[in-house]
Structure 1
Amino acid sequence: ISPELTPVANLPLLCILNCCMAYNVGLPEAKIFSGPSSEQFGYAVQQFLNPKGNWLLVGSPWSGFPENRMGDVYKCPVDLSTATCEKLNLQTSTSIPNVTEMKTNMSLGLTLTRNVGTGGFLTCGPLWAQQCGSQYYTTGVCSDVSPDFQLLASFSPAAQSGVNSICQ
């Protein structure tokens, strides 16, 4: 390329570089939510909107560490000036009726997703187990949570009902 054409040849390169330069948005207003790292706080996150405002749902699948990692979900208000999160305590109410269950280390909060049918969200604990006789079957459990953070139902599609701990 001749020296006279060098500035013209570099113009497209400069335009491309200018478009690709990185920048950050809203750093002064950034909110940092923190929780116990030993509980894997932040393993899963989900933005959530209900009539009371904007929330960040935060999964903490090892909540209860080190004794029992049943897991849980935290709700963190995005609109308020505070950056504190509140534990929903779903692990105590997550249960399948007529099943001998083992919640120890079920890791509730490992999965978070919106439920467009109810306007709430689903959270799952894949290590929830069902006892059948002397055997344990790890089928996992999910909980359907309402828009106002109340447990609607828990379900485990592979769980079997049984009599006297004998599954059918």
Structure 2
Amino acid sequence: MDYVFIFFIGILNCCMAYNVGLLEAKIFSGPSSEQFGYAVQQFINPKGNWLLVGSPWSGFPENRMGDVYKCPIDLSAATCEKLNLETATSIPNVTEMKTNMSLGLTLTRNMGTGGFLTCGPLWAQQCGSQYYATGVCSDVSPDFQILTSFAPAAQSGVNSVCQQTKSCI
């Protein structure tokens, strides 16, 4: 009987919830209508420690191109700055539909460049009257500049064919 009680106390102590650092917690806030905080990623670069915050409906209600905010962890002011990646995310020589692309829905570190990747799964390529939603990702440098944007399933060199035949091949 004593063993069961000791086992129960051990499990109870193991499974109780707790919080860490509540007195020094920072609260970053943004527009809830833009789904601010949908994705978050800790990020360190030479300028400090950051919290990257995805806001995939940024631009709501006119469009939902989406964006990413950088929030400084080291500074006393808890204000976030929009990176404006939605306008710089682009695939050359492709007629693109960026409205509602939801950039910032995905955030992940890119160990190869030291930066991060952000993706908008609803980016579309237009071909004639058709739209092909292949998604787009941008590789962002440690200093928050877009290195490249890519859409692996986008058809390259198709725009001239689309304009001539009004359909994709």
Find the aligned partners of 2:80 and 2:103 in 1 and give their Cα distance.
Answer: 17
- Within 5 Å, give how 1:19-168 maps onto structure 2: 19-162=14-157, 164=159, 166=161, 167-168=168-169
Provide the TM-score with structure 1 as the length reference: 0.87
Percent of counterpart pairs with the same letter? 92
Provide the TM-score with structure 2 as the length reference: 0.87
Q: Tell whether the 8 Å contact from 1:131 to 1:165 is kept in structure 2 after alignment.
A: no
Q: Tell whether the 8 Å contact from 1:58 to 1:74 is kept in structure 2 after alignment.
A: yes
Q: CA RMSD in A?
A: 1.3
Structure with max Cα Rg: 1
Find the aligned partners of 2:75 and 2:95 in 1 and give their Cα distance.
Answer: 42
- Report SS of the residue matched to 2:13: helix
Higher mean C-alpha displacement, 110-119 vs 155-164: 155-164
1:107–1:39 CA distance, 2 compared to 1 (3 A): same
Shift of 1:133: 1.7
Unaligned runs of 5+ in 1: 1-15
Q: Tell whether the 8 Å contact from 2:89 to 2:149 is kept in structure 1 after alignment.
A: yes
Shift of 1:17: 2.8
1:162–1:19 CA distance, 2 compared to 1 (3 A): closer
TM-superposition CA deviations, 1:66-107 (whole Å, max 9, x none): 001000000000011011000000000100000000001000
Q: Tell whether the 8 Å contact from 1:104 to 1:128 is kept in structure 2 after alignment.
A: yes
Shift of 1:20: 3.5
